[in-house]
Amino acid sequence: MKLDFDKESQIFHLSNTHISYVFGVLRNGHLGHYYYGSKIDGPFQVAYFRKAVNRGLTNYLYEDDFSFSLSHERLEYPCFGTTDYRMPAIHLRDKKGSNVVDFKYVSHLVISEKPEITGLPCARGMGETLTLIVTLEDSLLGATLELTYTIYSELPVITRSARLKNTGDHPLVIHQLLSMNLDFYDSDFDVIHLHGDWIKERHVERFPLHYGLQSIGSSRGASSAIHNPFMALARKACTEHVGEAYGISLVYSGNFTIGAEVDSDGHTRLSAGINPFQFQWTLNEGEVFSSPEAVLTYSNTGLNGLSQSLHRFITDQIIHPKYKGRLNQILINNWEATYFDFNEQKLMAIAKEASALGVELFVLDDGWFGRRNSDRAGLGDWYVNLEKLPGGIGQLSKAVHEMGLKFGLWIEPEMVNKDTALFKSHPEWVIGDPERPRSHGRNQFVLDYGRPEVVDAIYEQLIQVLDHASVDYLKWDMNRNITEAFSTLLGERQGELYHRYILGVYALYTRLLARYPEMIIESCAAGGGRFDMGMFYYAPQAWTSDNSDAVERLKIQYGTSMAYPLSAMGAHVTAIPNHQVKRSTSLKLRADVAYFGSFGYELDLTKLSVEDKAEIREQIAFYKANRETFLHGDFYRLISPFEGDRNITAWQVVSKGGLRSILGYYQVLAKPNEGLKTIKPVGLNPHGRYRVSCMESPVSGSFLMNFGILMKPAFNGIESTEVHDGDYQSRLILIDQI
Ligand code: GLA
């Protein structure tokens, strides 16, 4: 891991054993981008780049010189205002109203410590890292710009962020300050991204890059289920297993944009950061504004390689080190078991069954506070509802602990219902224009977390509950997006609302974790509506989706795994008919899908048959025996539910060390008169000998990976002897090295 800086050519070459990242100072002092990809041995020869030619109808920077135009350069952090017309990274307004900016290289610094970004989550700099900070200046404007690059010893990853300081004597207005920009010499890519909505989060879409700008983003106040803050550019020939791909993720939970723009030369610009739409930040004299961090990942081993690097990066650099290697607790959540209709007896009965079956954590969901008997009331009144729980959370958590279970509690601290003391006493704390109607979502309104006093007030209420109970786990929910984005505090600075909001959310996370360092927070946003690296900085796991139907979960978990590790993905077995899609599937299928995540149950255990309980006991024992492999093994996607006839999904985990591998194979619908199929596991030792749960005698790793495992059709239309015939089938194949 090193930085080579060539003084003469002014070229920076950041590298580790996997990658090289190369950029340099251009003739006009701006930074030009040269290369990001597989490791290249230096020196990096770019002198011939300088021999630019006259391109005809182009605008040039120097008089009587037709050789230098930013239009045809690959740029590192493009400024708006001169000869480059593509999406800029920085767009400001000065006191004259001018938008022209010109940041030129001044100096650079190399440090071994990974800097933090004040108020924002970012990679932690665990292990060996190297950080390069390049300072640029626009002296006329009175501003300096610091671009920060960190490279990590074992990962093909570069993280980047930008920091603007007003060094002048008048305020500046920031319209756009992106986290990163990466220009490529070609556009031979497909775009891959994760789109969706509530109960259909992070579905995979792949399409060829075309001329012009194609972008994803959010303007909802949360990263959202509509688009996830992740995009990959994959070479056309890139599959799950081979080929080149680049990933870009943001460590941010608010409004974002990620865009790929192909220019007339067929070159591609990839950029990401805070969404400039609805963003405008006044930077007064002496003040600093930092962009969120962007994570650039490179793979030459296909999309699985890209995902595995991201999984490792999130586990090692984003999630707090105190959770490293953590064996997520198997939980029971009462939401789909009771909804709002519960009392202490009911909860205790569920907890008792759970404890007997081997569950480890009981999570009390929505409905324990205020007058919360439906979603019309209660949010904002964070005191216990004594009608439901006469002994309070203190007594309940004690009783749950006495059963040998940990205790978890649900909150939704960013929201308020109208019929609460909080709403009545402080209507100005609610986001919205007082002169216009406010839209509701699930009968609730969003608190203005950009106001420090709001964060204080919610914190004070929450600690009254948490201080007087023993809460091991907090489920932090967020069930609607911002509308009528207006803060009575901000006056003309409304463009700051969304970013200030998310800074307030991060501040409350920080304060709660400081006060309760042992408590684990699960993030949730009506399921996966804020499933991003920003959240994982605070909360090591998230509720993946409110959709717990096993068939729908194949797509959701497959897509989510593209950018996030299994340990972060909450996956529960729920009742049938399923509450979201009314589908009935076997208990086996529901568990076979949920094992590939942070496992739990969300159903009324007191209503199950003796047979079902026996099966659940076995499932829990199986998960416990293989938990480390599921949560921390290497995950491979094998067959996509988004491709082909979309009927088969397959994936696989390989334990650290490779001794055990578990392959999940899922068939949605039975097909008539089907022949044999094969499935080829990956990630095995070709020379190793393996015992396979569905084969009679051991075989070699090379046999398994090349010939594969023959799969009997679920139902061939003639005879049906297997119990597991028909629709909605799954098989788990255990592959053990001998
Ligand atoms: C959201 C969450 C659910 C549950 C409910 C409670 O929808 O995603 O898991 O907590 O809120 O109201």
In the reported structure, the alpha carbon of residue 462 is separated from the centroid of ligand 1 by a whole-number distance in angstroms of: 18
- Widest CA span in the chain: 88
The preferred substitution site among 524, 580, 601 for testing ligand 1, maximizing ligand atoms within 8 Å of CB, is 524
Place of tokens 């007191």: 606
Cβ–Cβ under 8 Å, residues 149 and 158 = yes
Question: What DSSP character marks residue 160?
Answer: E
Please tell me the class of the 2-318 domain. mainly beta
Secondary structure, 3-state, 22-88: EEEECCCCCEEEEEEEECCCCCCCCHHHHCCCCCCCCCCCCCCCCCCCHHHCCECCCECCCCCCCCC
pLDDT of 312-331, one tens digit each? 999 999 999 999 999 999 99
Q: How far is CA 599 from the centre of its chain?
A: 19
- Structure-token pair, residue 259: 């865009």
- 363 Cα to the center of ligand 1, angstroms: 12
Q: Residue 56 pLDDT > 70, yes or no?
A: yes
CB hemisphere CA count around 188 (13 angstroms): 8
**Angstrom distance (rounded) from CA 632 to CA 365:** 27
Asked if residue 59 has pLDDT above 60, the reply is yes
Closest CA to 308 of 571, 637, 39: 637
Q: Give the distance (Å) from ligand 1 centre to CA of residue 366.
A: 7
Q: How far apart are CA 78 and CA 89, in angstroms?
A: 5
Q: What is the mean pLDDT of residues 84-105?
A: 96
Residues 188-247: tens digit of each pLDDT: 999 999 999 999 999 999 999 999 999 999 999 999 999 999 999 999 999 999 999 999
DSSP 8-state class, residue 503 = H
**Coil/strand/helix, residue 243:** strand
* Residue with CA at minimum distance from ligand 1 atom 1: 526
Whole-number average pLDDT of the chain = 96
Which ligand 1 atom is nearest residue 410's CA? Answer: 10
User: Cα(258) to centroid of ligand 1, in Å?
Assistant: 28
Cβ atoms of 222 and 270 within 8 Å: the answer is: no
The rounded Å distance from CA 339 to ligand 1 centre is 9
Instruction: Identify the active-site residue in 84, 381, 546, 549.
Output: 546
Alpha helices (runs of H) in 121-185, residue ranges in sequence order? none
Span 485-514, average pLDDT: 98
- Tell me yes or no: is domain 322-632 CATH 3.20.20.70: yes
Residue 675 has pLDDT above 90, yes or no: no
Q: What pLDDT score does 351 carry? A: 98
pLDDT score of 164 more than 90:
yes
- CB burial of residue 27 (10 Å; 0-12, 13-18, 19+): middle
* DSSP structure class, residue 291: P
Catalytic residue among 477, 532, 592, 634: 477
Q: Mean of the pLDDT values across residues 512-536?
A: 98
Q: Which amino acid is at 127?
A: G
- Fold match between 2-318 and 638-737? no
Q: Which residues contact 106 (CB under 8 A, 6 or more apart)?
A: 135, 136, 137, 144
Q: DSSP letter string over 388-453?
A: T-TTHHHHHHHHHHHTT-EEEEEE-TTEEESSSHHHHH-GGGBSS-TTSPPP-BTTEEEB-TTSHH
- pTM of this prediction? 0.97
Burial (Cβ within 10 Å: 0-12, 13-18, ≥19) of residue 425? exposed
The residue whose CA has the least distance to atom 7 of ligand 1 is: 526
* Domains in the chain: boundaries: 2-318, 322-632, 638-737
Ligand 1 proximal residues by C-beta, below 6 Å: 335, 365-366, 410, 477, 479, 524, 526-527, 543, 546
- Residue 736 appears among annotated catalytic residues: no
Rounded to whole angstroms, the Cα distance separating 44 from 3 reads: 12
Q: Which of 335, 340, 476 to mutate to test the pocket of ligand 1 (most atoms within 8 A of CB)?
A: 335
Task: Determine whether 263 is an active site residue.
Answer: no
User: Could you tell me where the DSSP H helices lie in 314-391?
Assistant: 335-338, 344-357
Indicate the CATH number for domain 638-737: 2.60.40.1180
pLDDT grade for 715, boundaries at 50, 70 and 90: low
Residue 54 has pLDDT above 80, yes or no: no
Q: How far apart are the first and last CA of the chain?
A: 37
